[in-house]
Structures are given as C-alpha cells and as structure tokens.
Amino acid sequence: MRFYPFFAQMLALTAAIILAPMLVGWVNQCRAWLQNRSAPSLLQPYYTLHKLFRKEVVLADNASSLFRTAPYVIFACMALASAIVPTLSTDLILSPAADAIALVGLFALARVFIALAGMDVGTAFGSLGARREMLIGFLAEPALLMVFFTASLISQSTSLSTIVDSLGNREFAIYPSLAFSGVAFVMVSLAENARVPVDNPTTHLELTMIHEAMILEYSGRHLALIEWASSLKLFTYSCIGIALFFPFGIPDASDPLSLGRAALILLAKLAVSGFCLALIETLSAKMRVFRTPEFLGAAFMLAVLAMLVHLLLRA
C-alpha cells in the first residue's frame, strides 16, 4: 500500500523537525560534561526557540524583502533536505527525488540566501560573514560531492535510498574507500555546521565568527527560524553520515513495527554521533580563518583518494 511510504515520509520529516533542537542540546550537554562544567538542560534549545518566537521582530530601516524572506527559505531547504535523507525507511514518497546531487544543491541554495541576507543590510559584520561562508561553501561542496560519488560508485546509483539499500543489505565488508570518505565527511560536516575547529557556534568575536556574523541583525521569529534551520542542518548531516557509513537498521519496508525499531536505532546512533561531535570539539582548538582552506583542501584530497582507491582496487 502507498499509505505506508507516505506515513514513513511524514514521520521522518516530523521527527527531524522535532528532534533537531534536542540533538543540539545533547551535544551541548556532552561538551559541558567533557569540560567538567555544569551542563545545560537537554531542552534548552526548545526554550530558546519559544522565547524567540514570542519576541517582536526588529528590522533595519534598509532591510529588503529578501532579508525578511530568507529565514523561511533557509528553513524550508533544511526541512526538505532532512526529508529526503532515509532515516527511518528507504521506501519513501520522496525516494525518487532523494538524489545526492540534489541534496548538495539544497545546502547550496540555503547558503546563498543566508549570505545574501547577511549582506542585505550593509553591515560590516554581515558582509564579512557572508564572504567567509561562501569561501567555506566553495571548498566544502566539492569534497561533499566526492564523498557521495564514492558511495555511488559502490552502489551504482546517486539515489540515497538505493545507496542505503545497497550498503545496508549486503554482506559485511570493510571498504577502505569508505574509511577515507568517512574522515573527509567528518571534516566537511564540522565546517558546514560551524563547529570547532572551523567555527565556534557560541562566539561573537568579530575576528573569528562566520555563521553568527550573518545573523546579527535578525531577531524574533526570523532568528528562531534560522536557529532551528541550523539545528536541522546538523541533524541532516548526522543522518547522512549514518546513512552512508552505518546504514544497518534502516529497513526497506514501511510497516509500523519496522518504523518503530528504526526509530529506536536512529536515536541510539544520534546519541553516539552527538557525543563524538562533542568529543571532537573538546579535543580541538579553534583554528585561524586562513587555515580553513587547508583544512577543507585536505578533506577534498581524502575524498578524491577514496574514489581512486575504489576505482583502482575495487575496495
């Protein structure tokens, strides 16, 4: 019945929208524990979003309609990206559209809008952050594409659902190419989600901030949507890593029993990935902005090396 794929799709989208802020809260908790600090509540991101939605929106005098529209476009892009990544099932309504290249395009579209919004009001910080954001995107997107292409060569498809089906339902095997791709993906994920060592999501120091510089002029519901979209992006990248490198537990059927089991497995995987992210941030130091091209260049080289390993060694 086609009802089950539709139900699985809606459930996956709803779970992403609801659980994304909790993943951020879990990462903040783990990082506080690892640094021997008092940890904030797991629900703190929800409290922050509730507070921002209740606040009045304050706009700059020269803000255009693009500035007001950008938060909604960014949130919609991240929600759609989270919907096409197979998390609870590979039998989804959007499976035909769940192409790896289209996913990278959604991330790029959201980046363009947030960069344009950062420059729209003409502040120095917004323009500075927009230039840095586009530089990171220019370097990170090719590396992310190479990671997807390595998995596509193994599964003979760029469809995320097909990749998960191919990697998750075959006999256990260790692919050196996926090992190189995994390292490259982690490096790209850190850069794309404004995490240490590339950026610090909690800083407001003008010499180092990237993402925060573009949203300093936002307030109220607009800022809430951008913060929610940022948590959705982190959730989506975590699910991409799970789908590519740990695809076990993602069923190809959409019956209620398999969906419930997949949801529990997904929560466990997200808990582990959130702890690993907090551990990486705790053990790493914020690098200089001018070192970011070297960092992402290394990620690109690792991703290309992964493709060459598969093409030459079939491994």
pLDDT in tens, 107-149: 999 999 999 999 999 888 899 899 999 999 999 999 999 999 9
Which tens digits make up the pLDDT trace of 91-101?
A: 888 877 778 99
The whole-angstrom separation of Cα 132 and Cα 155 is: 35
pTM of the model: 0.95
Confidence of residue 314 (pLDDT cuts 50, 70, 90): confident
The whole-angstrom separation of Cα 275 and Cα 141 is: 25
| pLDDT score, position 249 | 86
The whole-angstrom separation of Cα 77 and Cα 108 is: 9
What percent of the chain shows pLDDT beyond 70?
96
| pLDDT score, position 248 | 87
Q: For residue 40, give the DSSP letter.
A: P
A 10 A CB-CB count for 49 gives 18
Burial class (CB in 10 A: 0-12, 13-18, 19+), 221: middle
